Amino acid sequence: MPALAQRLGRAQVAATVAMTNKARALREAGHDVVSLTIGEPDFATPPHVIAAAHAAALAGDTKYPPQDGTRALKDAVCRQFRRDHGLEFGLDEVMISNGAKQVIYNALAATVDEGDEVVIPVPSWVAYSLTTRLIGGEPVHVTCPQNNGFRLRPEDLDAAITPRTRWLILNFPNNPTGAVPSRAELAALAEVMLRHPHVWIMSDDMYAHLYYGDEPYVTLAEIEPRLRARTLTVGGVSKTYAMTGWRIGYAGGPRDLIRAMVTVQGHVAAGVSTIGQAAAVAALDGPQELVAERAAVYRRRRDFVVDALNACPGLSCHRPEGAFYVFPNVAGCLGRTTAGGRLLQTDEDFALALLDEQHVALVHGAAFGMSPYLRISYATDDATLARAMERIAAFTHGLR
C-alpha cells in the first residue's frame, strides 16, 4: 500500500466524536443511552429559514457560489456585526465558510508555519489544538483555573506569549465551561495584547447569543478598537438558530487576512452551499425574538443541571455564564470504586464507567485540557436531562 502523509499522525479523533460513537454503538446494540456529548441544539431550525432555503432552490439559486460567500449573506453578516457589536466591516473584510470550524482552519492554515505557536486558554474546544497540530503549529495551553471562574488571567496570558506566537484564540462564552469575562476583565486582556503587536487574535463568538449575564455580551474588537486591525471575529448560525446541519460559519477581520483565508478555502472547498447561505440570510435578517426565548430555556436547563449535579456526592459544579455546557469537578469521586467494580482513577475512567454502567454519555475534561472534570451538554429536552441526572446521581451514590 502506498504511504500516507506523515501529518496524519497529528490528526487525532476528537474525544467528543469518540464518545458519541461509543454511545451510538451501545444504542444500536439495544441499550437506552442518554447522550450529552455533542453541542447541538435540540430545537428545530425556524420555519421561515427553511422556507427561504426552499424558495432559493425553486428560484434556481443552485449554481456555484463566490468563494468568499454570496453578496446577500455577506451583507447580512455585516448588518449582524453592526447590530450586535457596533463593528463595521466592508464586504472584503467578511467571508463565509462551511461552518465556523472551516473559518478556524482557513485562518490558521493561512498564517501558521511549522513550529509557530498558538496560545489557547484551557479548558478549550478540542478543535483549536487539533487543527493547530495538524498544520504543523504548536499549541501553548494556558490554564484558566476554576477558582477564577475558568477565566483567563492577564498575567498568565502575558507569560505565555513568545516571539514565535502567531495567534491567541479566545472563545466566549466558552466551550466547555460556559465562562465569560466581565467587560473589565476583557479590557485587561486587551491591554496585554496591545503590548504584543506581532500576534493575531481570534475571537470565537459562536455562543454569543447564549449569554446569561445582565449586560449585553461584548467581543474583543468592540471593547478595544485598537486591536481591530489584527482581530478575527468568528460567528455562525449553528447554535443561535439551531442550524448545525446547514454548515454556515463566517468571520469579519482585516482585509489582507480575509483575502488569505479565502485563498485557502478556494483550494479546500471553494464556495459554500447557496441554499444554506440563503437560509442564513433569513436567520440573520429575520425575526430575532426566538433567540432570546430559546436562550431563556437554556438558562433554565443550566440551573436545573447545576443544582442536580451539586446534589450528587463527590461532584462540584460551577454555574456558567453562557453557552449550553457545564463542567463539573469529579475529584471527590476519584479513588473510589463503582457499583460495577471499576476503580475510578481519572475523569476518563468516570466517563467510561458511567457510560457502561448507567448508559449516560459525556466527555471527560482531559479532552479539553483540564482534569478532573466532565463536560456535559444540556442542549437537549427536559425529560432527557432529568433521566440523565437521575442516572448520574445513582452512579455517584453507588460509589464506595
Q: For residue range 364-378, what is the model confidence (pLDDT) as tens digits?
A: 999 999 999 999 999
The model's confidence at residue 13, banded by pLDDT at 50, 70 and 90, is: low
Give the model confidence (pLDDT) of 293-330 as tens digits: 999 999 999 999 999 999 999 999 999 999 999 999 99
Averaged pLDDT, 242-269:
97
* pLDDT more than 90, % of the chain: 91
CA atoms within 13 A on the CB side of 283: 29
Query: Residue 1 pLDDT > 70, yes or no?
Result: yes
Give the model confidence (pLDDT) of 154-175 as tens digits: 999 999 999 999 999 999 999 9
Give the model confidence (pLDDT) of 108-136 as tens digits: 999 999 999 999 999 999 999 999 999 99
At residue 3, the pLDDT reads 85
Per DSSP, helices labelled H in the chain are 15-28, 47-58, 71-85, 100-111, 126-134, 154-160, 183-194, 220-223, 255-268, 274-285, 289-310, 347-358, 382-397
Q: Which of 18-32, 183-197, 307-321 has the lowest mean pLDDT?
A: 18-32
Task: Determine contact, residues 124/370, Cβ cutoff 8 Å.
Answer: no
At residue 29, the pLDDT reads 86
SS3 state of residue 230: helix
The model's confidence at residue 25, banded by pLDDT at 50, 70 and 90, is: confident
- Grid cell, residue 293, equals 426565548
Task: Determine contact, residues 203/234, Cβ cutoff 8 Å.
Answer: yes
Write down the mean pLDDT value for the chain: 96
Distances (CA, A) of 289 to 209, 212, 286: 12, 16, 9
Which is nearest to 129 in space by CA: 272, 258, 15, 265? 15
Query: Residue 383 pLDDT > 90, yes or no?
Result: yes
At residue 272, the pLDDT reads 97
At residue 45, the pLDDT reads 98
At residue 19, the pLDDT reads 79
- Grid cell, residue 148, equals 477564577
At residue 229, the pLDDT reads 97
Query: Residue 198 pLDDT > 70, yes or no?
Result: yes
Q: Which of 22-31, 199-208, 240-249 has the lowest mean pLDDT?
A: 22-31
> What is the distance between the alpha carbons of residues 369 and 350, in angstroms, rounded to a whole number?
16
Buried b (16+ CB within 10 A) or exposed e, 50-75: eebbeebeeeebeeebbbbbbebbbb
DSSP state of 170: E
**Angle CA 102–179–196, to nearest 5:** 65
Tracing cell 457502561 back to the chain, one arrives at 356
Distances (CA, A) of 17 to 31, 139, 306, 323, 351: 19, 21, 24, 19, 14
What structural domains does the chain harbor? Answer: 6-44+290-397 (3.90.1150.10), 47-285 (3.40.640.10)
